[in-house]
Structure 1
């Protein structure tokens, strides 16, 4: 239940970033949500793998585990968003440049 708010916020953040740089806004909104959920899945898989290989009993409360997963997912999503932002600022979309030239 806690993850619904970050999913919405990161989806909105990716949506606004894509709209700002003339990209497919809804596609990138879904990408932001899927990156967040995928990062949480990867963290859960790694925790499970750690528990199976080391035979230790992690006695972490569910709420703390949820917070750790949210922070990890947020960090991954924020990092990828910054990478996209830097890439798009260096290389603007070719369609927007060509459409400006055709209007002149």
Structure 2
């Protein structure tokens, strides 16, 4: 249930970001959700490798435990991608120059 709420808000923020910069709204909303799952999967694989090497005994059948422990890493990955896209798209936005005020002004 908690994942559904998180997915909703991730999609909503990516939708608004892409709408602000005139990009594909639904495409980037889906990208944000995919970024959340990719971050969680990467952390899960790293946790699995480290637990095997360190001989930790985790209860891998407890899905609630795995969801709660991987959630911050999925959110961090999503947030990182959000700010990277926002910064990149902010650079691409052309500056609107008010040229009406410059009519009749000398070029000196």
The unaligned stretches of length 5 or more in structure 2 are 97-108
Taking the aligned partners of 1:35 and 1:62, their CA distance within structure 2 comes to: 20
Taking the aligned partners of 2:26 and 2:63, their CA distance within structure 1 comes to: 33
Q: How many residues align?
A: 94
Does the residue aligned with 2:2 lie in a helix, a strand or coil? coil
Give the TM-score normalised by the residue count of structure 2: 0.76
Structure 1 residue aligned with 2:88: 87
Structure 1 residue aligned with 2:105: none
Taking the aligned partners of 2:37 and 2:58, their CA distance within structure 1 comes to: 22
Structure 2 residue aligned with 1:101: none
Taking the aligned partners of 2:56 and 2:67, their CA distance within structure 1 comes to: 20
Structure 2 residue aligned with 1:102: none
Taking the aligned partners of 2:66 and 2:26, their CA distance within structure 1 comes to: 30
Taking the aligned partners of 1:71 and 1:39, their CA distance within structure 2 comes to: 9
Give the TM-score normalised by the residue count of structure 1: 0.78
Structure 2 residue aligned with 1:56: 56
Taking the aligned partners of 1:79 and 1:32, their CA distance within structure 2 comes to: 10
Taking the aligned partners of 1:48 and 1:57, their CA distance within structure 2 comes to: 10
Structure 1 residue aligned with 2:74: 73
Is the radius of gyration larger for structure 1 or structure 2? 2
Residues 1-41 of structure 1, C-alpha deviations (whole Å, 9 max, x = no match): 32111111111111110011000000000000000011111
Residues 45-92 of structure 1, C-alpha deviations (whole Å, 9 max, x = no match): 111111112222246975454223111111110111011101111112
RMSD value over aligned CA atoms?
2.1
